[in-house]
């Protein structure tokens, strides 16, 4: 039992709102809770909508035809609304308006070519529609209040990875949300923020968890619950690994590290705001809402089961000095500077006498930018379509399990962590 009128933040990701049946299930979960607590509900785009929007945006930005893809997106959302609420498409006024807005923005993009370096800015203006559309449908299904979070969650202008202006955001949230929450549940978008000039930003892919944490921090919520299609925080992604185990309880610290290495279960920025205010994070299954799940909080534990983390679409870049001199601190300064400017994050790195290697997420555009800047000083080699594996709390059996039969391109171990880069497996199958 929770304390009466405690404040809870719930986050529902794409899979939990992927169709009308999933939204009905969400309604059941929320109804079961709403009597006990004030509830802020953070919702992501439905199913694979963000990927679909990325494709549509890419086409519009490069002045290509996107009509059929947009039509599919429109049909999907209006179809779900019709299934839930009945009536004709045009009767779902708010949804209809949002789809019209999206249509207009895309048409303008396609007709008026924009400079290549405005890609990220325009990306945010378009991709945000996934969350706007989803919350519009979910709020109506719940008969809850719909909140546009963008004027509240203030960020800077770092497109696609908006950095939160904490003092302003906290002020806005504390000023505006409590009266709404007293009236009843509030539904808002994950993943979005807004700049002082009123432009939309996004917080990084899968950023809705982070949104839930930002609100919880500002409101000093009692707990955050992330509803997922898995039983809790597992030691590996069951899509890729056999015999996964659930952690019933795990510390903030361990979870931050796992997220850092790429465990996709929680967005890496989520934990810090919660840890600062000691707000527990519960990970639960929307398929089995009464099951225990995982509690992430202030706790100590004995030896944890090794965690297996896989990151795909990796790129291994090696820099060699052209005159065969050693890689110096000055060289490294230059390489790090160029990586930061291209906004390529280093997932793993290694230095040898005349070469320096980094493993990053692959992005053709960012890689080109990097090469442009460093090509004159260094001989640069790179490989793409690689995978990066990390084993946290490894032992010899877990290392063997992952490395047997693979050719490792780069390998590293510290006391707790074993990492390697290898080529993507030709045949898919559970590891």
Q: Give the binding site for Mg ion (CB under 5 A).
A: 14, 44
Closest by CA position to 199, among listed 153, 133, 134: 153
Residue linked to tokens 């559309």: 133
Q: Binding residue for ligand ASP (CB under 6 A) from 40, 45, 95, 358?
A: 45
| Smallest separation (angstroms) from ligand ASP to the CB of 401 | 30
Residue-by-residue DSSP string for 308-359: EEEEEEEEEEEEEETT-PPPPHHHHHHHHHHHHHTTPPEEEEEE-SSEEEEE
Of the listed pieces 22-30, 147-155, 204-212, 350-358, which binds ligand ASP according to CB under 6 A?
204-212
| Smallest separation (angstroms) from Mg ion to the CB of 154 | 23
Burial bucket for residue 228 (CB in 10 Å: 0-12, 13-18, 19+)? buried
Looking at beta carbons, which residue is closest to Mg ion? Answer: 14
Q: What share of the chain is helix, strand, coil (3-state, %, to 5)?
A: 40, 25, 35
Structure tokens, 266: 């929680």
**Helix (H), strand (E) at residue 369:** helix 364-374
| Smallest separation (angstroms) from Mg ion to the CB of 130 | 8
Q: Which of residues 177 and 192 has its CB atom nearest to Mg ion in the complex?
A: 192
| Smallest separation (angstroms) from ligand ASP to the CB of 76 | 14
Q: Which one of ligand ASP, Mg ion, none interacts with residue 207, CB within 5 to 8 A by kind?
A: ligand ASP
* Residues of this chain, 8-27, that bind ligand ASP according to CB under 6 A: 13-14
The alpha-carbon radius of gyration of the chain (Å, integer) is 23
| Smallest separation (angstroms) from ligand ASP to the CB of 55 | 13
Q: Binding residue for ligand ASP (CB under 6 A) from 8, 200, 208, 235?
A: 208
| Smallest separation (angstroms) from Mg ion to the CB of 365 | 22
Of the listed pieces 202-210, 253-261, 281-289, 421-429, which binds ligand ASP according to CB under 6 A?
202-210
Cα–Cα distance for residue pair 184/23, rounded to 1 Å: 19
Q: Which one of Mg ion, ligand ASP, none interacts with residue 205, CB within 5 to 8 A by kind?
A: ligand ASP
Assess 44 for contact with ligand ASP (CB under 6 A): yes
Contact mark string toward ligand ASP, 168..197, x via CB under 6 A: ----------------------xx------
Contact between 64 and 102 (Cβ < 8 Å): no
Structure tokens, 178: 């409590």
Cα–Cα distance for residue pair 321/329, rounded to 1 Å: 12
Cα–Cα distance for residue pair 24/53, rounded to 1 Å: 24
Looking at beta carbons, which residue is closest to ligand ASP? Answer: 208
* Residues of this chain, 261-300, that bind ligand ASP according to CB under 6 A: none
Q: Binding residue for ligand ASP (CB under 6 A) from 205, 343, 401, 423?
A: 205
Closest by CA position to 6, among listed 255, 190, 297, 225: 225
For residues 79, 83, 88 and 90, what is the CA-based torsion angle, rounded to 10 degrees? -50
Cα–Cα distance for residue pair 197/32, rounded to 1 Å: 40
Q: Binding residue for ligand ASP (CB under 6 A) from 25, 38, 50, 244?
A: 50
Q: Binding residue for ligand ASP (CB under 6 A) from 130, 162, 280, 293?
A: 130
Q: Which of residues 206 and 254 has its CB atom nearest to ligand ASP in the complex?
A: 206
| Smallest separation (angstroms) from Mg ion to the CB of 208 | 7
Burial bucket for residue 185 (CB in 10 Å: 0-12, 13-18, 19+)? buried
| Smallest separation (angstroms) from ligand ASP to the CB of 209 | 6
Assess 206 for contact with ligand ASP (CB under 6 A): yes
Q: Which of residues 72 and 299 has its CB atom nearest to ligand ASP in the complex?
A: 72
Residues that bind ligand ASP (CB under 6 A): 13-14, 44-45, 50, 130, 190-191, 205-208
């Amino acid at each position: 039992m929770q304390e009466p009128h405690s404040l809870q933040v719930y986050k529902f990701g794409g899979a939990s709102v992927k169709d009308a049946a999933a939204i009905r299930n969400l309604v059941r979960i929320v109804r079961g809770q709403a009597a006990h607590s004030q509830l802020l509900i953070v919702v992501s785009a439905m199913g694979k909508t963000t990927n679909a929007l990325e494709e549509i945006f890419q086409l519009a930005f490069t002045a290509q035809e996107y009509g059929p893809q947009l039509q599919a997106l429109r049909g999907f959302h209006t179809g779900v609304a019709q299934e839930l609420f009945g009536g004709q498409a045009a009767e779902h006024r708010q949804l209809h308006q949002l789809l019209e807005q999206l249509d207009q923005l895309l048409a303008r993009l396609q007709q008026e070519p924009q400079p290549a370096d405005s890609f990220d800015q325009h990306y945010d203006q378009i991709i945000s529609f996934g969350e706007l559309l989803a919350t519009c449908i979910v709020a109506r299904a719940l008969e809850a209040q719909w909140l546009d979070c963008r004027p509240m969650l203030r960020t800077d202008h770092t497109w696609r990875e908006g950095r939160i202006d904490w003092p302003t955001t906290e002020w806005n949230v504390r000023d505006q949300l409590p009266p709404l929450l007293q009236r009843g549940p509030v539904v808002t978008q994950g993943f979005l923020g807004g700049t002082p000039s009123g432009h939309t930003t996004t917080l990084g892919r899968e950023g809705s968890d982070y949104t839930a944490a930002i609100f919880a921090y500002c409101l000093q919520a009692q707990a955050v619950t992330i509803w997922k299609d898995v039983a809790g925080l597992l030691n590996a992604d069951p899509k890729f690994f056999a015999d996964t185990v659930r952690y019933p309880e795990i510390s903030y610290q361990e979870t931050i590290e796992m997220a850092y290495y790429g465990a996709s279960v929680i967005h890496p920025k989520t934990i810090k705001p919660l840890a600062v205010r000691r707000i527990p994070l519960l990970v639960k299954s929307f398929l089995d809402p009464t099951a225990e799940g995982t509690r992430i909080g202030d706790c100590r534990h004995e030896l944890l089961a090794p965690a297996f983390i896989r990151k795909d679409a990796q790129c291994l870049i090696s820099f060699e000095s052209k005159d065969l001199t050693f890689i110096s601190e000055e060289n490294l300064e230059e390489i790090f500077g160029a990586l930061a400017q291209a906004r390529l994050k280093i997932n793993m790195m290694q230095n040898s006498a005349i070469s320096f290697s980094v493993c990053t997420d692959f992005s053709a555009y960012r890689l080109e930018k990097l090469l442009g800047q460093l090509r004159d000083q260094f001989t640069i080699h790179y490989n793409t379509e690689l995978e990066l594996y990390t084993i946290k709390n490894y032992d010899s059996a877990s290392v063997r399990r992952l490395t047997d039969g693979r050719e490792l391109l780069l390998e590293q171990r510290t006391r707790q962590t074993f990492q390697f880069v290898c080529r993507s497996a030709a045949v898919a199958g559970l590891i």
